[in-house]
Amino acid sequence: MGLPVTQWAYNLLEEKWIPVLYRDGKVDRVGICKALEDARTIRQVAASNPMDRVAILRFLLAVLMWCKEDAKSSLASLDEKSAGIPENWLAKLKENKAAFNLLGDGKRFYQDESLKGKGPRPIGDLLVEFPGADSVNHMRHVVHDSSYGFCPACCAMGILRLSVWAPANRFYPASVNPGSAAYAFIEGKNLFQTLCANLPETNPQADQAPWLGNEQPNSPDAVARLAWRPRKLWLNVGSENDPCANCGSFGELITSLCNEGGWPTPTTSSQEFAKAVETEFKNLGYRTKDKDQANKNAKKVVKMASLIRKCRMDDLRKACSQSNPQPQAAAPTTQTDEQEIARLFHQLILKNDKSAQEAIKALTKKPNEEEQKALGGGDMRAKKFWDADPHLLRDGEAISLPGLGADVAMHSSQFWRDALRLRRGQVGRVTAIGPVVNKFTFQDGVSIALPDASDDVKSRANLSADCGGELRGLFKQVTQNPLRQHPEIDASVKLLTPNAEAQIRDRLSRINASTGDNASEDRAFLHEVYAPVVEQVIASVTPGSPLRRHATRNHARALLNEKIKELVEKPDHLSNAGTPAAVPGKPKRGRKKGGSK
């Protein structure tokens, strides 16, 4: 039986591939058009893997921004009228319907015909968690011999996931952000509100959308970056009708793919500037590979270029005018920052006396505290990622979950505290999602709901981290030899930490308007969470008679109360909690203490 053409081409606008949960509890799969038209009645994108929820949401945002330039304000005004997305908004999609064909003979969605016929890879490559030949062994393990395949819906989701999570290695670039980055989204009551709340504020369109052409955009706009294409792909359709190895749906399957590196991760603006300075040095005859002092100095300047531009230009000019009392030919009037920096340092390097050397050293040293404050979040970044990503959780660098090798207490508490701290004043319920990608092996995908980040919540999150960090020391104090290592205490604290962390999260998500007496509420909160931990640890590690256990427990309780009092009354937790996201740099609280004792 021949398949109808539309089914074979598998048009993503119309085919049912996006898993959604409707507000009435119905679960379905829909195409892009229906997802947008029904956005008011859809509760959320309901993919089982949290990574797909991020990828699909970001893709829908890109589509929406491409269809409607003033999407954010228009959606907000529709929301006031409780109206859905009208059909005429989607006219541009329908005009370009052919661009959304996943399969078929013509142009294909996110695929590059130049790869057709090249050496195929197993289709399992597309979904990192799929239990294939060389990943960690699973109960149901698959041999990569083309004996299995994925349905087009699973392939479409796998392709979109690459935009957000693709890991980098020798052969392939990362996605628009590093492969294990974490993202946070505001949750609306329905998909419509979620889309509206998470759209970037501005939408200047510069390039054609990534689904229209294979070429990397020169100056990628938000649409291109939300739907980045870090891989060149081509899907090979197998002939038989079988159940999909990933989701079980029956139909024609894709059994292999051709895969090459695609668009490289865009550089941040500070990296662009460093590159420009490097080019200027090259024009002046410097070579980065040479190891002599002059080239080393030039390299240092390139590394610190955006810091110098922002904070040290006056010092640089002064150093140059001092070392050249008779100014040479006047500097060209129309010179760019990068030209000026390279030219002035070139003068200093040529001079090469003691004062010039000292000036170079002072101008290329690491930023001091004051300069740190003046620098934007992205000015000294090492990794490439999208500077202005509206959803990325970043703290200077993009943050990710701690590796699975990390201490269990760190693992359970670090990510959600970071997410809470970095949610950038977003109002409403927020979900943060991040995968753990360890040596290119997918290990976990985590989705956590964050409470409203009021100052109360943040200060209690910090307090609880501090208190949790003090526990081990406290338990050692009540033993007969407090100076010794106590592995049994460490083990039982570790064991109880995930539960305590879950309780903290639960309580913070239900926090109500404060009754005014913050300090006593904070004390009660810490007590409720940690008193049971103290009881359990003492019960499990204290040897000896019941009398001795009783005495030890009382002692530990008293110490806990004392510690809580001390922490709550310490003045700095409130001031810290108020503006944590505004201060870049390492969070002081909750990390080191919990980890390394």
Interface positions with Zn ion (CB under 5 A): 151, 154, 244, 246-247
Cα angle value 567/571/576 (rounded, 5°): 95
Residue among 123 and 359 whose Cβ is closer to Zn ion: 123
| Measured CA distances, 530 to 367, 410, 451, 499, 564 (Å) | 40, 17, 20, 11, 10
Residue among 246 and 256 whose Cβ is closer to Zn ion: 246
Whether the CB-CB separation of 100 and 109 falls below 8 Å is answered with yes
Residue among 142 and 294 whose Cβ is closer to Zn ion: 142
Neighbours of 545 (CB within 10 A): 9
Amino acid, single-letter form, for residue 61:
L
Residue among 45 and 226 whose Cβ is closer to Zn ion: 45
Place of tokens 């890991």: 167
Structure tokens at 208: 């054609």
Residue among 250 and 440 whose Cβ is closer to Zn ion: 250
- The number of angstroms, rounded, from the C-alpha of 412 to the middle of its chain's C-alpha atoms is 17
Whether the CB-CB separation of 415 and 173 falls below 8 Å is answered with no
- The number of angstroms, rounded, from the C-alpha of 396 to the middle of its chain's C-alpha atoms is 12
Residue among 123 and 151 whose Cβ is closer to Zn ion: 151
To Zn ion, the closest distance from the beta carbon of 442 in angstroms equals 17
Beta bridge partners of 235: 257
- SS3 for 20? strand
To Zn ion, the closest distance from the beta carbon of 161 in angstroms equals 14
- The number of angstroms, rounded, from the C-alpha of 397 to the middle of its chain's C-alpha atoms is 9
To Zn ion, the closest distance from the beta carbon of 248 in angstroms equals 7
CA distance 145 to 66: 40
Structure tokens at 140: 């149901």
Specify the DSSP element, H or E, that contains 442: strand 441-450
To Zn ion, the closest distance from the beta carbon of 63 in angstroms equals 22
Residue among 251 and 261 whose Cβ is closer to Zn ion: 251
Residue among 162 and 574 whose Cβ is closer to Zn ion: 162
To Zn ion, the closest distance from the beta carbon of 98 in angstroms equals 24
CA distance 17 to 107: 19
CA distance 559 to 438: 40
To Zn ion, the closest distance from the beta carbon of 397 in angstroms equals 35
To Zn ion, the closest distance from the beta carbon of 150 in angstroms equals 5
Structure tokens at 76: 């907000």
To Zn ion, the closest distance from the beta carbon of 120 in angstroms equals 19
| Measured CA distances, 213 to 99, 113, 391 (Å) | 9, 11, 25
Whether the CB-CB separation of 536 and 496 falls below 8 Å is answered with yes
Amino acid, single-letter form, for residue 90:
L
Residue among 158 and 178 whose Cβ is closer to Zn ion: 158
To Zn ion, the closest distance from the beta carbon of 15 in angstroms equals 12
The DSSP output letter for 43 is E
To Zn ion, the closest distance from the beta carbon of 126 in angstroms equals 11
To Zn ion, the closest distance from the beta carbon of 97 in angstroms equals 23
Beta bridge partners of 7: none
Residue among 244 and 461 whose Cβ is closer to Zn ion: 244
Q: In residues, how long is the chain? A: 597
To Zn ion, the closest distance from the beta carbon of 260 in angstroms equals 24
Residue among 130 and 263 whose Cβ is closer to Zn ion: 130
Residue among 11 and 180 whose Cβ is closer to Zn ion: 11
To Zn ion, the closest distance from the beta carbon of 444 in angstroms equals 21
To Zn ion, the closest distance from the beta carbon of 17 in angstroms equals 9
Whether the CB-CB separation of 72 and 196 falls below 8 Å is answered with yes
Structure tokens at 221: 């706009």
- SS3 for 441? strand
Residue among 151 and 277 whose Cβ is closer to Zn ion: 151
Residue among 21 and 276 whose Cβ is closer to Zn ion: 21
CA nearest to 220, candidates 159, 264, 169, 178: 264
CA distance 524 to 44: 36
The region that residue 396 occupies, defined by phi over 0 for left and psi between -120 and 50 for alpha, beta otherwise, is left
Whether the CB-CB separation of 309 and 342 falls below 8 Å is answered with no
| Measured CA distances, 463 to 152, 504, 562 (Å) | 49, 11, 14
